[in-house]
Chains A and B, each alone.
Chain A
Amino acid sequence: EPEVTQTPSHQVTQMGQEVILRCVPISNHLYFYWYRQILGQKVEFLVSFYNNEISEKSEIFDDQFSVERPDGSNFTLKIRSTKLEDSAMYFCASSRGPAYGYTFGSGTRLTVV
């Protein structure tokens, strides 16, 4: 069964450093998403991406965040200058379209120290 692949599974970074979280969505999917889950809390939407541009973003997705689909297969989330409160599980997801389900990756656990 096709799956969404996320790397790395765990990342520890120092406050103020830049991190790039990587995702390979399912190949025939057109919509891509990033979500965040702070430990013990609910899953929060960050951003959706369609047709090579951001289609929607949340208040959390401020100027320190950016997304890119550099080569037609990877979908990345960059956090420019990490803060302690960015520590969370980050999930990538993809979908064929609005009437279809999402497939989530297994997540990247980011720890900012």
Chain B
Amino acid sequence: AQKITQTQPGMFVQEKEAVTLDCTYDTSDQSYGLFWYKQPSSGEMIFLIYQGSYDEQNATEGRYSLNFQKARKSANLVISASQLGDSAMYFCAMRGLTGGGNKLTFGTGTQLKVEL
């Protein structure tokens, strides 16, 4: 079984500042993938970034980076230079790649508000 924990129900950040959204996970799978999705108020799920458990380098996609600490089982999302359009719900999710099925398991999400 897989479990994702996001302990920050809400976060505030000032425009142009960096923000870290926390995510910890638990799994018995040796090989797995970690994802972050953004859900704006319009409701769609937008893929942001992916980290494989055997990737040696932290994933980066533009202003998004994933701070992957395997020993701590954490996969925090870092958003640099926050913009007003970053205000949204952010979900961390994982999928086992060996015998854990194909489904994504989601955390409860963090609501991010970017302020002027």
Contacts and interface: CB of A to CB of B under 8 A. Distances in A.
Interface of A: 31, 33, 35, 41-45, 48, 50, 55-56, 58, 89, 91, 93, 95, 98-99, 101-107, 109
**A-side interface mostly:** strand
A31 B95 CA distance: 14
Between B50, B102, B107, the greatest number of chain A beta carbons within 10 A of the residue's beta carbon is seen for B102
A43 B105 CA distance: 8
Contacts of A101: 35, 47, 50
Contacts, number: 61
B85 interface: no
B104 interface: yes
Contact of A48 (B35, B102, B108): B102
Given A48-B102, A56-B102, A107-B44, A99 B97 contact: yes
Given A91-B45, A104-B45, A109-B43, A98 B102 contact: yes
Contacts of A102: 35, 47, 104
A45 B106 CA distance: 9
Interface in B29-46: 33, 35, 37, 42-46
